[in-house]
Amino acid sequence: MRNIILSIALATAIAATAQPFQRPEPPRQTHQLRMGPVVMGIDAERGGKILSFKYKDQEIISQSRWPESFGSTFWTSPQKEWNWPPVQELDKGRYTVEHDSEGRLILSSGISEKLGFRVVKDISTSYSERSFIVRYSIVNESDQTRQVAPWEITRVNNENGLIFFDAPLDGITPSGLMAFKEDKGAVWYQTDEAPENRKVNADGKGWLAYMANGLLLVKQFEDLSPEQPAPGEAEVQVYVNRGKTYIELESQGAYTTLKPGERLSWTVRWYLLPVDATATPEELLQKVNMTK
């Protein structure tokens, strides 16, 4: 689907050569949560996205100005329920600020006309865990029983990044699409270029990590059994475009049945740590284990 969208965007740009070239303006950052040298920035006006995650002045989140290529967003799964583009009310619409205090922010989306869902994002800091806790809720505002799973999509900077998580190498599908290697009890992928956009699925063990430019991003979530994700989806997903200029780190929660008025909740803990850019896999896994 992204191949089609990118092709359309390129054709539109070529056709518009008579007009001055302007990239779309990035969403503005309206709220910040801070814990020591780590700062998370959230835009309530445009999708409640996490736009920035910094250690001091170093950024790990993609700041691209192209649509669907920046920040960290939240979708409902499976994708076949809405296809493409992402649902406006949940991905780009204005989120109402229900609570805003030092160390905690609660945002609520509008109700999706197509799906009947509302999303609530409860984001807080935990000094005891040294983490940012992002608690997502999906509320069934329709009059019908629905099935749905939570899905977090985080676009990160690609600085020859290293992606790793705990999963069997032969369980990554499609097999061989990305050059994952297995070592020290995890699978590792050094981002590379390819003639096509690529996406893989895996049954992880409740965490997903990314290291680039001396920063280590670790995300922790519920470990699912193989039958728990939504049909055609997976607990851990990685997407890299053909030029390795765009990366998505994705995780999903359990596929859940919601009666009218019911909600599911799903929590992702975010950690951002400085590391030696030449750290070995063993050293990086030690850092990951420190967050557990």
pLDDT digits (tens, 9 = 90+) for 205-251: 999 999 999 999 999 999 999 999 999 999 999 999 887 778 999 99
> What DSSP line would sit under 239-284, residue for residue?
EE-TTSS-EEEEEE---EEE-TT-EEEEEEEEEEEE--TT--HHHH
| For residue 5, pLDDT beyond 80 | no
The residue that leads in pLDDT, 166 or 14, is 166
Q: What is the pLDDT of residue 29?
A: 63
pLDDT digits (tens, 9 = 90+) for 55-79: 999 999 999 988 899 999 999 999 9
Half-sphere exposure of 94 (CA within 13 A, CB side): 4
> How much is the pLDDT for 24?
56
pLDDT for position 27: 53
pLDDT tens, position by position, 78-124: 999 999 999 999 999 999 999 999 999 999 999 999 999 999 999 99
Mean pLDDT of 169-174: 96
Over the chain, what is the mean pLDDT?
90
* Better-scored residue on pLDDT, 91 or 24: 91
Give the CA angle between residues 156, 241, 192 to the nearest 5°: 85
pLDDT more than 90, % of the chain: 83
DSSP state of 39: E
- 6 has pLDDT over 60: no
What is the pLDDT averaged over residues 153-158?
92
For the chain, strand residue ranges (E) read 31-35, 38-43, 49-55, 58-59, 72-77, 96-101, 104-108, 117-126, 131-140, 146-156, 162-165, 181-183, 186-190, 198-202, 207-212, 215-220, 236-240, 247-252, 256-258, 263-274
Q: Is residue 271 predicted with pLDDT exceeding 70?
A: yes
Tokens 């967003």 found at: 73
Distances (CA, A) of 90 to 18, 156, 166, 221, 237: 35, 20, 30, 21, 20
Instruction: Compute the average pLDDT of residues 127-136.
Output: 97
At 31-53, the pLDDT tens digits run: 999 999 999 999 999 999 999 99
Distances (CA, A) of 284 to 129, 203, 276: 18, 21, 9
